[in-house]
Structure 1
Amino acid sequence: MKHLVPLLLLLLLFLAGTARHADAQQSTPAESAYAPTQATRLELPLELYSSDVNVQPIAQDSSVVVMVKQDGPGLRHDSFALQKYDYRLQPLWNVALPVPHEYELQQICAEGTTVYSLFQSDHTQHRLWVATVDGFGRQLRTYEFDTKLTREIYDIKALAGNLFVTVLVDNHLTILLLDLATGKHQFLPSVYEPLPAQLSFLADSAAQRAEFVMSQTNGYKMRLQLKQLSARGMLLRSEFVQAESERGLISAQISPAADSTAGRLLAGTYTLRDPRYSQGLFAADLSAGVAANGSRRSLRFYDFANLKHFFDFMSPGRARRLRQKSEKMRAADRVLRLRYRTLIHDLIPFEDGYVMVAEVYFPYYRHNTYGGLYNPSYMYNPYYYSGYGNSNWSRGSRGFDGYRITHALVCGFDKRGNLLWDNTFVLKDVVRYNLSETVRLCVLPDGHRLAMAYLTDDKLNYKIIDRTAPSPNDLHVNLKTSSLPTAKEKATTTSNEGLVTWYGNRFLAYGYQHVRAGHAPDREVFFLNAIGFE
């Protein structure tokens, strides 16, 4: 018995130390000062079973536009309306859209304060219908296109009043340009990539250029091709980026041309052979030019195992063993091969460079014959072409149950491609059936720190990023259903929730809720909560 008490004390100390490492540290006063505020909330009397809502933030004038679809009586009598709200979520205008009955909404986007809505025919997929509304809600214009070839639509972006639509044609990814001024359309031959492919697209409104980054492979090694197009779809420039070593470049994002005076950043992920898995990050300054042998002088590689925080999602012991194994193999001139799937976000300007976010995920199967959540067998990645994919490829008889996102890596680069710092936001119990960006990011008012956040039901999970400094991964607040501090009500269910970056240091949380009030009838609403880090 006399030996039992010391052993118990040691066990308690060990567990306490493990818990402290898992949470990184307790909240500091600086982090508490940046706790999110929820000053405004908008509720629309809409029910989940009879409506559908798309949210489009407009950063230019600090507003938000929502597309509201409501089921009408009988078949194909749905109504569509665009509604705009200001920074206080007060209504500005409401414009009804005369959508023909055969069309269904695909996506909305914005350029400046003009909002674009793209619809596709249920009967004939190659028929498209477009509606545009100016920022004042005064000018509604509609267009109809018979493209003959369009089938699946994956993405739309507006540039100089035209719509660039990423579509699938004959098992190739290509761009359909809808010229709204002339009412004509064309498929751009300069972008025609066979599946599987990976493609990222930057609509650079300041430079009036469309920038594409596409992956290409010869079956053994991968490289990237960069193409710059005018706002009317004319090819202006094309170049290749590849590594001389065994590394293959999987995917990347590019910084806007307007910021190229101090360097043009291209940043993404690389592999050591298998294009499904990332080994680490790479970065290059495109303005540094190319050597005589065609290599990039500025190309730099950063193995995940060498980053300070990449393995934070693991237990401390497992992370330590992985690092030790990597160091031993490096000493023997070998490389520890890693197998991580990553979803790369657009580059975000920060201080004198850029921030890149990479969400790490894996497909999740209910009936996993390998005994764990991770299945090392071949699984098609629908984001292998950057979101332009059919997730049914991975939904077979083994009970595909979505994508589990384990953590989000956030890195700071200067414009020359030098890695300045890295950090990690560890996510908890996040599974998405369709692969899309989960974590959102904004710059805090001091201009030197970042807030990262995501929603799970009615809970906003967030983390304050101060370069490499450790900070808690478990900070959270519940979404408020009322701005009155004395209100006794709560959300009993939250569905179709989402989070978008709005303007400045603000996010918008949205979704459907059933709210139970203390001394009033329950209500079914679609909500918008403005969340600020003041």
Structure 2
Amino acid sequence: MKRVTPLKEEVMPRFLLSCFRVNIVWLLVLLPAIGALAQLQQADRLEIPTSSSASEQFEIFSLGEQGILSVIRGDGYSSSRNEQWQFVQYDTTLKVRWRAAYKLDFRYIPVMAYKGVDAGYWLFAEPDSDRFLFLQLNFNDGSIDTFKGNLLSGVDVQQFKVIGSKALVSGYYRSRPVVIIHSFFDHTTRVLPGLFEKNTELNNVDINEVDGYINVITYAYRKKNCVFEIKTYNYDGKFLKRTTLSDSRYSFISGQIVPLNPDDSYLIGNYSVGCTQYSQGLYVTHIENDKPAEPQFIEFSDLQNFFNYMKPKRRQRMLDKIGKRKSLGKENRFRYRLLVHELIQTENEIVLVAEVYYPNQRSTNPVISGGISRPYISRSLEGYRYTHAIVCGFDRSGKFMWDNCITIKDLTSFDLQEMVQVTPVDDYFVLAYPQEGEIHTEVISRDKVVVETEKFKINPKSEKDKVLNNEDGYLSPWYGQYFLAYGMQRIGSSSIGQGREIFYVNKLTYKTEDIGKVGLKSDSAPR
């Protein structure tokens, strides 16, 4: 088994026709040059042959300007029951820096991984026991250290992070939330207080490594109301403070903390009407000295480009309906599921990216068996269907500034995961997602579309090879204007025959020189 884990027409006066024809001629002359300057480019490519006899799983971790880390796990050719793990770090030119290997005791299964600044961490569990194993991989030289610990038997792990020399393992124990903090050095384990409550769900465990704080974000169902809370702990797990967000009209679904200083931050997320996971819009609120200010609620109908994924007639009907309800003083209600990404922070702004999706689910009982960087989830479903992704910009003080979107056509995934990658390039943002061996891109300048949707094929390294089959394509941010496309391909010199299967990593960038000379395309019209 091979697996990769992660226009309105207007009447024109006759005296303008001659000028119009001349402009069309010049435009046709310029288009090839523009296309050559503004397009996705494959800067480099890595091809790793797969084993024909071994069961393998592949994973890629972006390490910024340090390069990338490739992780291959499988039984290899050894008769041992222990699983072989191979770690290879490549530099930004995709040349090997170092290799390391580790044999995982067959009694352990992988649960999750966490990428720190200088090291990567893997969490393994021994089923039906309280014994866990932590593996630390140094990104500088590939050295490996392991630590054993006793946590809780039967905990359903949802998140795994590391702060300093301590591991944070969060999830559910007997259907109640729990966050466990384990020290690698003295092997002590403690459960963070104030979380083990009924009808409470974990939203996120946020770590502030600069100030040494741990923020656990939860929402609970209490007396038919939803309570959204941030509980803050110090590095040793001591409870420090509680921040509660509440509103008589709305419920807060998610939130990400943007710290300004130890006592000042703001929170960005999505909200709903009633205790439901269906979003009504976005919100931002300032929190100072544990007291949240009045949130700014941004309905989807307030976004300039949210409905641009619809066909023109349907979009217009939706806008007419929204306008009519607003004129009558009625509130617009929406029911959208959002997969909110980690915030992108630049020097001048905060960018929120979220995909809108629908689950094609036949059963609501997920079974979580554990995975490397995300849980492997077995569901009785047909997958998730994505319709579009929204991109929203806030200034550094939390003020909403602009929005845009990219249409996602006919894209489904069996696992719910981030599909759209947003990469800042010069003064633009490149929006991209993979589908069947192609990368779909759109270039925006804040609320304007600069280059509309284009498709680019993921090509083999050799011009003599052809792509015969594509599987499990993913995108990941890298460094600067570069990002990664990776997955499985079967390639060969001819379409006759099976070819050979490889795991590929493509280094991609988008050249934006002279885009501004084309002129910005307004995104107020449907695409």
Give TM-score scaled by structure 2 length.
Answer: 0.82
Partner of 2:416: 435
Partner of 1:229: 233
Question: Is residue 342 from structure 1 mapped to residue 338 from structure 2 by the alignment?
Answer: yes
Correspondence for 2:220 among 216, 222, 225 = 216
Partner of 2:100: 95
Question: Is residue 511 from structure 1 mapped to residue 487 from structure 2 by the alignment?
Answer: yes
Equivalent positions of 1:21-40 (< 5 A) are 33-40=37-44
Deviation at 1:353, TM superposition (A): 2.2
1:473-511 per-residue CA deviation (whole Å, 9 max, x = no partner) reads 5312111211x5xx1212212223222111222211111
Seen in structure 2, the aligned counterparts of structure 1 residues 125 and 493 have a Cα distance that, compared at 3 Å, is: farther
Question: Is residue 470 from structure 1 mapped to residue 470 from structure 2 by the alignment?
Answer: no
Partner of 1:356: 352
Seen in structure 2, the aligned counterparts of structure 1 residues 326 and 288 have a Cα distance that, compared at 3 Å, is: farther
Secondary structure of 2:448 counterpart? coil
Seen in structure 2, the aligned counterparts of structure 1 residues 262 and 410 have a Cα distance that, compared at 3 Å, is: farther
Secondary structure of 1:137 counterpart? coil
Secondary structure of 1:264 counterpart? strand
Secondary structure of 1:317 counterpart? helix
Correspondence for 2:160 among 150, 156, 159 = 156
Q: Distance in 2 between matches of 1:125 and 1:438?
A: 35
Q: Distance in 1 between matches of 2:437 and 2:403?
A: 29
Q: Which moved more, 1:105-114 or 1:216-225?
A: 216-225
Partner of 1:126: 130
Seen in structure 2, the aligned counterparts of structure 1 residues 493 and 187 have a Cα distance that, compared at 3 Å, is: farther
Question: Is residue 247 from structure 1 mapped to residue 276 from structure 2 by the alignment?
Answer: no
Partner of 2:265: 264
Deviation at 1:98, TM superposition (A): 3.2
Question: Is residue 170 from structure 1 mapped to residue 147 from structure 2 by the alignment?
Answer: no
Deviation at 1:31, TM superposition (A): 8.0
Question: Is residue 481 from structure 1 mapped to residue 473 from structure 2 by the alignment?
Answer: no
Amino acid at match of 2:401: L
Question: Is residue 411 from structure 1 mapped to residue 385 from structure 2 by the alignment?
Answer: no
Deviation at 1:458, TM superposition (A): 1.6
Secondary structure of 1:503 counterpart? coil
Contact 2:63 2:478 in 1 (8 A): yes
Partner of 2:478: 502
Contact 2:361 2:383 in 1 (8 A): yes
Secondary structure of 1:36 counterpart? strand
Contact 1:285 1:415 in 2 (8 A): no
Q: Distance in 2 between matches of 1:231 and 1:53?
A: 34
Partner of 2:145: 141
Q: Distance in 1 between matches of 2:460 and 2:376?
A: 36
1:366-393 per-residue CA deviation (whole Å, 9 max, x = no partner) reads 8xxxxxxxxxxx968999xxx999966x
Q: Distance in 2 between matches of 1:261 and 1:92?
A: 38
Structure 2 portions without partners, runs of 5+: 1-10, 12-29, 512-527
Contact 2:263 2:290 in 1 (8 A): no
Amino acid at match of 2:147: Y
Q: Which moved more, 1:259-268 or 1:311-320?
A: 259-268
Q: Which moved more, 1:33-42 or 1:91-100?
A: 33-42
Partner of 2:516: none
Partner of 2:242: 238
1:124-181 per-residue CA deviation (whole Å, 9 max, x = no partner) reads 3532111112123353211122324243222222211322122221112322222112
Seen in structure 2, the aligned counterparts of structure 1 residues 299 and 309 have a Cα distance that, compared at 3 Å, is: same
- Taking only aligned residues, the RMSD between alpha carbons, in angstroms, comes to 3.2
Contact 1:80 1:96 in 2 (8 A): yes
Deviation at 1:401, TM superposition (A): 0.6
Correspondence for 1:317 among 298, 309, 313 = 313
Amino acid at match of 1:230: N
Deviation at 1:203, TM superposition (A): 2.6
1:183-220 per-residue CA deviation (whole Å, 9 max, x = no partner) reads 23222224445566241233333333223322223253
Secondary structure of 1:454 counterpart? strand
Q: Which moved more, 1:465-474 or 1:509-518?
A: 465-474
* More strand by percentage: 2
Among the aligned pairs, what percent are the same residue? Answer: 23
Question: Is residue 188 from structure 1 mapped to residue 199 from structure 2 by the alignment?
Answer: no
Seen in structure 2, the aligned counterparts of structure 1 residues 391 and 195 have a Cα distance that, compared at 3 Å, is: farther
Partner of 2:506: 529
Structure 1 portions without partners, runs of 5+: 1-9, 11-25, 291-295, 367-377
Q: Distance in 2 between matches of 1:466 and 1:179?
A: 45
Deviation at 1:266, TM superposition (A): 0.8
Amino acid at match of 2:96: P
Seen in structure 2, the aligned counterparts of structure 1 residues 426 and 89 have a Cα distance that, compared at 3 Å, is: same
Seen in structure 2, the aligned counterparts of structure 1 residues 220 and 195 have a Cα distance that, compared at 3 Å, is: closer
Amino acid at match of 1:322: M
Q: Distance in 1 between matches of 2:181 and 2:352?
A: 29
Correspondence for 1:66 among 67, 70, 77 = 70
Deviation at 1:323, TM superposition (A): 1.9
Amino acid at match of 1:46: T
Seen in structure 2, the aligned counterparts of structure 1 residues 412 and 138 have a Cα distance that, compared at 3 Å, is: closer
Seen in structure 2, the aligned counterparts of structure 1 residues 175 and 30 have a Cα distance that, compared at 3 Å, is: farther
Q: Distance in 1 between matches of 2:503 and 2:375?
A: 29
Amino acid at match of 2:406: F
Amino acid at match of 2:121: Y
1:227-271 per-residue CA deviation (whole Å, 9 max, x = no partner) reads 22233323233211122x41111111111x2x4499623111111
Q: Distance in 2 between matches of 1:329 and 1:85?
A: 56
Partner of 2:89: 84
Q: Distance in 2 between matches of 1:124 and 1:262?
A: 42
Secondary structure of 1:422 counterpart? strand
